[in-house]
């Protein structure tokens, strides 16, 4: 039996009924890689890890911003999502994570290694902890509330000539 969600759950950010936000949310995982780079830099003082963590932070900011913009389209475009408090906590938490990652990048801008210190490590830990919470909430939104998924799960699009199974 296919899952069903309340009317108005769905997504508005989709291409050919394929939701975009779930496709983009793994990409800010670069921020987790940055934390690993920071841990390795603090442990080894090898500048390779500081440089790597810096560029992973930049990648996480770019991809996190893309995922956030698509998520914002769904939040503002799906009335039911706007009524769910966890949708707002999810969004605001992700904004906070991106702001902290941005601060971490700015601190490192002129010298990767000099700022990939204990403060940089703490910022990276905070970002990943926030992402764990907001990721959990995003899963709740998708899997429990059907936000960000096609409204008719498993159904054949109306313009399809394929016969339903």
Residue 47 burial by CB count (10 A; 0-12/13-18/19+): exposed, middle or buried? middle
- Tell me the pTM: 0.84
The pLDDT of residue 61: 97
Coil, strand, or helix at residue 27?
A: helix
Tokens coding 164 = 């339903």
Q: Where are the beta strands (DSSP E) in the chain?
A: 14-15, 18-19
Please report, for the chain, how many H helices and E strands are present, in that order.
Answer: 7, 2
Taking the domains of the chain in order of start, what are their residue ranges?
14-144
| Separation of CA 77 from chain center | 18
pLDDT in tens, 65-96: 999 999 999 999 988 899 999 999 999 999 99
The pLDDT of residue 154: 47
pLDDT in tens, 109-160: 988 766 678 899 999 999 999 999 999 999 999 888 888 776 554 444 555 4
pLDDT over threshold 60, residue 165: no
């Amino acid at each position: 039996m296919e899952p069903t969600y309340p009317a108005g759950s769905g997504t508005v950010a989709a291409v050919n009924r394929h939701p975009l936000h779930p496709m983009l949310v793994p990409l800010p995982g670069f921020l987790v890689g940055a934390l690993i780079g920071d841990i390795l830099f603090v442990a080894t003082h090898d500048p390779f890890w500081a440089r790597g963590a810096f560029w992973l932070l930049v990648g996480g900011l770019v991809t996190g911003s893309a995922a956030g913009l698509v998520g914002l389209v769904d939040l503002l475009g799906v009335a039911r999502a706007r009524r769910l408090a966890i949708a707002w906590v999810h969004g605001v938490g992700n904004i906070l994570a991106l702001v902290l990652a941005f601060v971490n990048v700015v601190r490192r801008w002129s010298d990767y290694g000099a700022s990939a210190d204990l403060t940089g490590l703490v910022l990276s830990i905070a970002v990943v902890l926030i992402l764990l919470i907001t990721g959990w909430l995003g899963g709740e939104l998708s899997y429990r509330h059907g936000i960000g998924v096609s409204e008719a799960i498993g159904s054949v699009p109306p313009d399809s000539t394929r016969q339903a199974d």
